[in-house]
Amino acid sequence: MAQKVETIDSDGHVLEPADMWEHYIEAKYRERCLKLFQDKEGNEFVRIDAGLIISQQPSEDDYRNFGSAGAIGARDGGVTEAYKMKWEDGIRGGFDPLARIPDMDRDGIDVAVLYPTLGLFLGSIEDPQYAAAASRAYNRWIADYCKAMPHRLYGAAAIPMNDPALAVQELRFAVEQLGLRAGFVRPNPYNDRVLWDRANDIVWKAASELDVGIGIHSSVSVKQPYVATERFKGYSLAVNHLVEHTFEMMSTATGMIMCGPCDRNPKLRLGFLECGGGWMAGLLDRMDRHFDDQGMNDTGLETRPSEIFHRQCFISFEPVEGALRLVADYIGSENILWATDYPHVDGFWGAVQMIRDMGMPPETERNVLSGGAKRFYGIWK
């Protein structure tokens, strides 16, 4: 009997064991692989590559604080100094799939699609061969994680966009050999090449042929550039988090829709994740305006941007967004995703009930809770 899937967390996260890459990466990269370690004072550091380290304490001109990643188990309350928590103190369900299931049951979540935590920094690796090896290691591990509960946990594969040919190779391996059912990339440029560069078309073509959705997932970054963050140096974590996530994703959504990748690959499915969703309505209106104005339209697109979006794009909302009900009707509830961001400190307990409490019409609510995710991920056909 087929599993009844009514609620899908489209963007959950795992916590990779601190020594995971050492065990899963090929031997020649073991000495330089991504690794978490502590100094004599107990401060945590993440080595991504030689000379590329995230520290627990930010410098004066950089708010990025790895200590916050250790706080991911703090969302049940009672932790007053969450940002001093160690990585290993994170909630058990991030590390252990069997411990995750009771948390999902508690919130009424049938299925979670999983993205990394430390693995979100892989885009900062410049060496294409090493980036591909690090992605392969993560993909092997997340496949093993999901095997514990294969009908409730689905992993998204890391795609090493530093080299499009290697990206295609890894995506095919992850789908055909490991059984992963989605891929993910960062919205930021990889080695100064934006996602909508024509060189990446072979990746989007492969994703279309493999019939897998590609989640474009934002996060803080060590080395990849961000739109507009240079204007907010010295300001708070809140301001920088807001700007770097949302502005970068707006830029990427514009590039993928207006600059041709979706038009050239009409079966490609893209999800814009981790950045809220209310902004998409106004952005689509503005895209259409520039497409419809014949004196301004030099895009070369064959399809109106809003039609491209409805055909193949999806936007993820946080369950606290008051605009969700209105925007779902405006841009189409079948293009809406939602996320808990479990187990991160800025995630949500009770997300399903929060969405149901919005009082949306039954069909809209069904689409938001699972219909959009079923279309995007293409798993529950």
pLDDT at position 45 is 83
pLDDT in tens, the chain (381 residues): 467 899 999 999 999 998 999 999 999 999 999 988 877 877 788 889 877 877 655 444 443 444 445 655 555 544 445 566 788 888 899 999 999 999 999 999 999 999 999 999 999 999 999 999 999 999 999 999 999 999 999 999 999 999 999 999 999 999 999 999 999 999 999 999 999 999 999 999 999 999 999 999 998 878 899 898 888 888 887 888 888 899 999 999 999 999 999 999 999 999 999 999 999 999 999 999 999 998 999 999 999 999 999 999 999 999 999 999 999 999 999 999 999 999 888 888 999 999 999 999 999 999 999 999 999 999 886
pLDDT at position 84 is 67
pLDDT at position 68 is 46
All structural domains of the chain, each given as residue ranges with its CATH number in brackets, are 8-28+93-377 (3.20.20.140)
The single-letter code of the amino acid at 224 is: Q
3-class DSSP assignment, residue 4: coil
pLDDT at position 79 is 46
210 burial type by CB count under 10 A (0-12 exposed, 13-18 middle, 19+ buried): middle
DSSP per residue, 128-154: HHHHHHHHHHHHHHHHHHHHTSTTTEE
pLDDT at position 63 is 37
pLDDT at position 43 is 76
pLDDT at position 194 is 98
Two tokens, residue 330: 């405006």
Contacts 24+ apart (CB under 8 A), 302-305: 302/263, 303/263, 303/266, 305/257, 305/258
What is this structure's pTM?
Answer: 0.94
pLDDT at position 82 is 58
* Contact status, residue 280 vs residue 223, Cβ threshold 8 Å: no
254 burial type by CB count under 10 A (0-12 exposed, 13-18 middle, 19+ buried): middle
pLDDT at position 317 is 97
Q: Which of 41, 89, 42, 49 is nearest to 68 (CA)?
A: 89
